Each structure stands twice: as C-alpha cells, then as structure tokens.
Structure 1
Amino acid sequence: MGSYAELYVGRLLAVSSKNDVIPDVVGLFQRDEFHSVDPGTPGVPVPLREHYLDATEDAEVEEGFISEIHYYATTLSEISERLEYLGYSSENVRTAFYAWRDRNVAWKREMADKYAGPNYETLRKMNQREAEELSRISVEDWVKATKELIACGNRKNVSSEASKVLELVGGDYELDYGPSYDFLISLRIMCDFASPNEVVCYDVTDLVQSEYLVIGDDPVGVLLEHEFDSAADIFRNSKTIVLVEGKSDIRILKAAMTAIFPRLADRFVFFDYEEFGIPGGAGNLVNLVKSFVAAGVANRIVALFDNDTGAEEALLSLKGLNLPRNLKVIKLPDIELLHDYPTIGPSGNARMNISGLAAGLELYLGSDILTRSDGTGTSEKPATFCLI
C-alpha cells in the first residue's frame, strides 16, 4: 500500500508523497519546528490529533496503536517569509501562473489539432473545450476557488464553479491542486489571503513507522542525505553565500540578520576572510566573484560592495562579464543620510554628499548609532569621515 508524508494547511490536506518526503517541503521548516510527541499532546495540529486519536479508537487498528507521531509545524506567516527568500513573491507567482496557463492552453489546442480525424471527435472537442475554459481563468479565479477549498477542507464540498477551476488548474484528483510542476506556487498563493496564524504542518509519521525515514538527532538534516531528483531540488535547498568586502561587514550583517530576520538567518552563509587568510577590499571581492563564477558554484550568491570610489572602480572590471543567474552583484544604496554628511578634508571640516565616495556598511546602521543626541560623533561611534 505504501506510506505517505502529508502537508496540511489548516485542515486542508494540500499535498502528499508516497514512501518519501518532498525536499522542497522539508526545506521550508526549521530544525526546532520538528516534533515527536504523543498524539494527545496539547499543541498537536488539529488534523493530526483527529486523525491519530480517531484511529486508535478503531478496534481494527488497535494492534497498530501509534504512541508517537512525527511532524513539522509552523505558521503560514513563517512559510511566506521563507518562500519570499526562495523568490516566490506575489508578483513572481502571478507571472508563473499565467506562463503555466498559457503553455497548457497551447498544448491542449495542439492536442485538439492532432486528434482531428473522425475517430477522435470526442477527444478533439474535449481538448478544445478545456483550452477555451482554461484560457479564461485568471489568478483571481484561482484565488477565489482556493479560499473555498481551505474553508471546506476538501474538494468534495466546494461549489461547482470552484470545483471546475480547481480541476482545470490542477486536475480531478483530490490532491491535484494548482500548477502541477511546482507546488510552492500554490502554497505561496495561500499566503496572500489565508490567516497568517494558520498552522502549516508536515506529517511524516507514516514514513517513520514504516522505516522509510530515520529521523535521528537532526530531522532537517534529512535533506543533507536525501537523493535529490534534480539540480533544482539541490539549488532550492542550499544556502545563499554572501560575499562582502571585509570581516567587519560580516559581523555587522550577521548581527543585523539575526535581529531582524531570526528565522531566515541560518539560510545564509558568509565567506570568512579570516579563516582563509584572504585580504578584504573591493578588488579582492571582484576576484572572489570571478573565482565563484569560474568554479560554477550552484548556490545562490550575493556579492555586496560598499558605496564608495573603491567599489565603483572595482565594479567596472565586472562589466561585460556574463554572470550566471544565481549570482547577484549589488552595491550599498544611496540614502538620505549620506547627502549632507560631516567630513574632514584638506580644507578642514565640511559637510558634503559622500554617496559613491566614502559610504561603507557602518554608515547604514542609522544616525542613532552614529551620533550623540546633539548630532555630534563619539570616539566609539565617529560621525565624521576623513577624505584626505
């Protein structure tokens, strides 16, 4: 019969897989979001509690009593942040939906033309009809049907209109929900309208009970040993490498990310200059970028340059290079604070626009960090820059 891993959004069984986990789904959860508990434990998601407690009351299942269940759980708001990190923004999801729809409409029309003989009249008409119906479905139609689906908990109880949309966009099987090539598109759509506190849980109890999955000490570590089906799976579940100009930048960014995005910080890794004895600076950052490109590193890579003259000159050497899609070169942005900044130059003290001249990462910590309440700098937090 097989064993299944099942993902629930609220009470909705959104997707399942047989005899294995879905790497993209496991990759959405953090290590501390995994639980191995008694099914009656307070806090167990409703669909799991109902499923396992009801099962133990069935006399036929009594011999297979489950004393411990295994699942990942978090909120839809957390899932939304992690999907944004993977590039699943609302805009990108809308674009992906229409691209999928138009490809499928074209395919159905091609099938209608292919089966044009008298012996295939029924098949031809079916493909023509589905092509026309699908071509009229918008993202808004899909969202409306999805809202009904979440409210009802299953496809059987939605309206005929919603059922038709779900069938055309997914399929007629209960779990055929959304564009079949990428379930994360469907999950991201839910994030835009469902309650941010909606519980999202991934039940792997069946896999553990059947010994298809060994949890061990690190449940999320299953991804490290998983035999991925494609390079896309590896790419989406790997960390983003951040390259900066120096070791102080690493300390600042690590602290800022931990404070502002604590649930995403562990998805980034910083290239450690000190560990490898490599000097910092814009020129060496350019060399690192070229080295990573030459090595064909598959991870996402972000190269962050300062907003100064050194970076401007160094970036010129990257112009004309065919950088891969997984590598993004960015420079610290122009901000209002830089437009009238106290400096010390050959002519003494002066206020000037230092954007593109002398703006390092420290200047993006905010004026409350850089100055006293009277606007002057401190010895620990100097507000002026020397431009000699």
Structure 2
Amino acid sequence: MGTEITLDVGGLCVDWNKNSRGADHGMLFQSHHRKRVKTSQLDYDYPELDAEVIASMERALCATLIEVCPRLELLGFTLEAVKNEYESSVVAWLDMQSRIREPDDLFETNILSFTEFCDFIKSYPLVQLDNSYNESGCFKITQGKFQNDPRILRLPVHAHDIGVAYSESSYFGALIGFLHPYSTLRVLAKCEQNFNVDVIWNYGPVVENGYASEDDFVPGARREQAFLIATEGSSDVHIIKHAFALLKPEIQDFFRFIDVSESHPFPGTGNLVKFADGLIKIDIQNNVIFVFDNDAEGYEAYQRIAKMSLLPNMRVMLLPELAAFSSFLTSGPSGESLADINRRAAAIECYLDLEYGEYPAAKVIWTTYKKEMEVYHGALEHKESYTRSFLKQTYDSVRNNKYDTSKLVAVLDALIEECFSIKSSEGE
C-alpha cells in the first residue's frame, strides 16, 4: 500500500503524496510548530507498540489556520489572488463542459460567484463536518449536511466526477478541491469557525519508513520567498526588525535585512540609490524593497529610484504619511511652531511612541534647506533615546498597551502591501 504523507486542515486533506516527501510545505510553518500529532497510519491498539516508533511516526509540523493565513498571503495567496484563480477555474470548467457535452445535454452555467463560493465555504465549518469513515464505501450527496443544498450544482465541478468520498469532510474537500491547496486553505479562513483548526503536515511515517529524511522537512520561509528590506540607516533596520518580532512574529522569517552588526554597508540615501542601481544592473533575483524615511532627503531619494527601470521583484517606498504628522511641534530659525512634517522630517523614529518615558514634548529641529525641493529637512530631537526605549520593549509590554505601536503597525502594513504587489506581479 505504501506510505502516505498529507497536508490536512481540520481533518480535510488538501494535498498528499506517497512514498516520498512530495510538495514542500515547510514554508507554512515556523520552528516552534514542530509537534507530535497522532497519525492514522499507526495502529495504536497494537499491544507491543514501541514508544520510540510512536514518537517517530507522530513527527509533524502543526499550526492553526489563523497562524498559517498571513504566511499564505506572503506566498502570494491573497484573497484577490484566490478570487482570480476561482474565476479562471469557472471559465475553464464552462469551456470544458461546452466541448464534452452533447448539444442537447444541458449543464449548469449559473456558477457561483466568488462571493457566493465564500458564503458556501462559511456554511460548512470544518469542526462541524463528520470525518468518520462511512462503512458503505461511498458518501452520497443526499446524506449528511449537504442534503438538498442547491449551491452544490452551481460549483465548477460535476458531482459525478468527484469520485469516492468516505465522509462529510472528504466530500466537502472534493467539492472545493479544484483550487490550489494553498488557495483552499486561504478561502477556508474566510470562516471564523475555522480559525483554530490545525493545519498538519505529518511527515513522521515517510521518514520512519525510509522514504524521506528529517532534513527534508524544514520550517520557515525559503530564500526565494523572503523579502530583503534595504533601508538608509542602521536604526531603520533595528526598529523595523524589532517591530516585526513584537507585532507580527508569525511572519517575521519572511523578512531579511542588510547586516548592520558592524556598520551599514550602504549608509545614507545616496548610497542606497547607488545600491538599487547596482542591483538592477546585475538583475538581482531576490525580492527587494527599498524603504526611505518620510522626510525631505528620503523623498528625494525615493523619487530617484522610482524613475529607474525597477525589476518586477523590486519595490521602493516611503514610510507612510500619517495624519499625526500633519501638525507636529517644530523648531527653526523663526522659533517653535506646528507644521506638517510629512515628506520633510518624519524619519523612522517618529513612528515610535513619542509619549513613552519622561521626555519633553516631541519636537523636530529644522536642519537643512533643500533648495531643489524648496523645503527644510528636519530631525527628531532625542531620537536615539526614543529608539533605545523601543528596543527594550517586549511582546508582553506591547500586548498590554504599555507602548503605543499604532504608527509602527502602519509601517509594517505598508511594507506588507509592497510584498503583495511583488507577488501579484509574478502571475502577470
């Protein structure tokens, strides 16, 4: 019979292989997701079952669907991408039916829209589906929770082509199995009751039986799936990296940074522009996002790179403009006043909690007049102190609202949107 390896979600199999690793699903998981999970390929009632064999067979990578979901999106499986795949499947299915059916053989053409398909998914939470084996050998459409659901006939799959289904769960999987396995996972996350079901890649049996090595099952984003974040200064690296660790730890391994442990190899906006030009000329294959401060120097450099012929796997962005910066305390030759510091003085430190600690009111000092842009460039006073305070924050302190991370969340969200833009261009 051989040894199977499956990728399951809530008891529903979305991908499988026999006698080898099959598709690599390690990027869906992180290192702490290595767990022991009971396997259907082991007879637990066997009286002389060895404890070491049990432990070996139960080796798996296991995470909840809500943990996996943001990782799916960074792999390119956003809802928009799934919608496009679904609509392409509908077109292909209708075309096939028109070719294989006899002229007088009618078939359903009013296929569910993607919104209706998502509603269909929401109607059948995985936790409510019976996953027990049906002794009759074939689960019928007239049985179980699917009885008389007219939407089944409007799916881009013919009921008679589904094949054998042995339970409510397997029948449901057959109905939606025309999608890519990761698209299936992403759309299942549209149902809130599926958030906490487990996504399991149980690799123990294929390793125990000699069809694969433990080294074939490595969690974490692969090099080609990660995004290199290139910033103009070392503080940007430290702050953004720490922000991911605190606010979005479930995807932090997708982001790589220039090594600044000793010094920044491309410090300043000018050097970063040259670095971008060099990467374009060598046709860099990695995903790269250039991030500039939302200040006068950053905006000038941003415009220079934006005019380059960027590769499809490259993006350039400014830190997001925020309403909080539209009326900010500043100090210059004419004294103190409130001013809009967007594109003028909002460096990365301005996105920290500027009310944390015992500092005076946050203030930007105007330093340099950019003649070509006709604006002053400024810098945040005591920015090093704000940075040190943030880098001392822990997961618990930000979760307990002791530190305001709202502006940093905006930074990370903007960064992630650029990642989505890169992934969406891959299918063009």
Deviation of 1:57 after TM superposition, in Å, equals: 2.6
Q: Who is 1:56 aligned against?
A: 44
Counterpart residue number, 2:244: 257
Cα offset, 1:32, TM superposition: 1.5
* 1:18 has 2:5 as partner: no
Counterpart contact for 1:363–1:370, Cα < 8 Å: no
Counterpart position of 1:152:
129
**In structure 2, what is the equivalent of residue 315 of structure 1?**
302
Quote the sequence identity (%).
Answer: 23
Q: Secondary structure at the match of 1:220?
A: coil
Q: Which residue of 1 aligns with 2:256?
A: 269
Shift of 1:332: 1.0
Deviations 1:196-241 (A, max 9, x none): 211221111221122222115x9416987xxxxxxxxx74xx3211
Give 2:67's aligned residue.
Answer: 78
Q: CA deviation at 1:16?
A: 1.4
Aligned with residue 142 of structure 1, among 109, 117, 121 = 117
SS, match of residue 311 in structure 2: coil
The more displaced of 247-256 and 136-145 is 136-145
8 Å Cα contact 1:76-1:195 kept in structure 2: yes
Is 1:304 the counterpart of 2:291 in the alignment? yes
Q: Secondary structure at the match of 2:316?
A: strand
**Residue deviations 1:58-97, cap 9 Å, x none?**
69x979x952211111111101121233343333322332
Distance in 2 (alpha carbons) for counterparts of 1:169 and 1:71: 34
Superposed CA offset, 1:113-132 (max 9, x none): xxxxxxxxxx4459x755x4
Contact 1:97 1:179 in 2 (8 A): no
Amino acid at match of 2:337: A
- Out of 255-264 and 344-353, give the one that drifted further: 344-353
Q: Corresponding residue for 2:30?
A: 30
Instruction: Name the CA distance, whole Å, in 1 between partners of 2:214 and 2:196.
Output: 27
Q: Using the alignment, how far apart are the partners of 1:313 and 1:241 within structure 2? A: 22
Distance 1:221 1:106, change over 3 A: same
2:194 aligns to what? 195
Q: Which of the pair is proportionally richer in helix?
A: 1
Distance 1:207 1:223, change over 3 A: farther
Letter in 2 for 1:93: V
Matched with 1:207 is: 206
Q: CA offset at residue 145 of structure 1?
A: 4.5
Asked whether the equivalents of residues 220 and 253 of structure 2 are also in contact (C-alpha less than 8 Å), the reply is no
Distance in 2 separating the partners of 1:329 and 1:371:
36
Residue 184 of structure 2 aligns to which amino acid in structure 1? S
Query: In structure 2, how many angstroms separate the alpha carbons of the residues matched to 1:21 and 1:264?
Result: 24
How many Å apart are 1:249 and its aligned residue? 0.5
- Structure 1 segments unaligned to the other structure (5+ residues): 38-43, 113-122, 225-233, 378-382
The alpha-carbon deviation at position 365 of structure 1 amounts to 0.9
Equivalent in the alignment of 1:387: 367
TM-score by length of 2: 0.69
C-alpha spacing 1:297/1:343, structure 2 compared with 1 (3 Å): same
SS in structure 2 at match of 1:197: coil
User: Which residue of 349, 360, 367 maps to 2:354?
Assistant: 367
The answer on whether the counterparts of 1:75 and 1:199 sit within 8 Å (CA) in structure 2 is yes
> Quick one: distance in 2 between partners of 1:219 and 1:57?
28
**CA gap 1:186/1:24 in 2 versus in 1, 3 angstroms:** farther
> Counterparts of 2:322 and 2:188 in 1: how far apart (Å)?
35
Distance in 2 separating the partners of 1:314 and 1:258: 28
Q: 1:338 to 1:221 in 2, by over 3 A?
A: closer
Cα gap change, 1:140/1:310 in structure 2, threshold over 3 Å: closer, same or farther?
A: closer
**4+ runs deviating over 6 angstroms:** none
Give the superposition deviation at 1:320. 4.0
CA contact (8 A) 1:145 1:166 kept: no
Unaligned ranges ≥5, structure 2: 132-137, 166-172, 369-428
Residue 15 and residue 274 in structure 1: after superposition, are their counterparts in 2 closer, same or farther (change >3 A)?
A: closer
1:168 pairs, out of 151, 154, 157, with: 157
Tell me, yes or no, if structure 1 residue 354 matches structure 2 residue 341.
yes
2:342 counterpart of 1:343: no
The residue type equivalent to 1:387 in the other structure is: T
Measure how far apart 1:300 and its partner are.
Answer: 2.5
* Matched-pair contact (CA < 8 Å) for 1:145–1:165: no
Matched, 1:376 2:361: yes
3-state SS, counterpart of residue 213 of structure 1: coil
Whole-angstrom CA distance in 2 between matches of 1:86 and 1:258: 19
Question: Within 2, Cα distance between the matches of 1:223 and 1:258?
Answer: 15
Give 3-state SS (helix, strand or coil) of 1:368's partner.
coil
What TM-score do the two structures reach when normalised by structure 1? 0.75
The 1:25–1:281 alpha-carbon spacing in structure 2 relative to 1, beyond 3 Å, is: same
Corresponding residue for residue 371 of structure 2 = none
User: Could you tell me how far apart the structure 2 residues matched to 1:77 and 1:142 are?
Assistant: 20
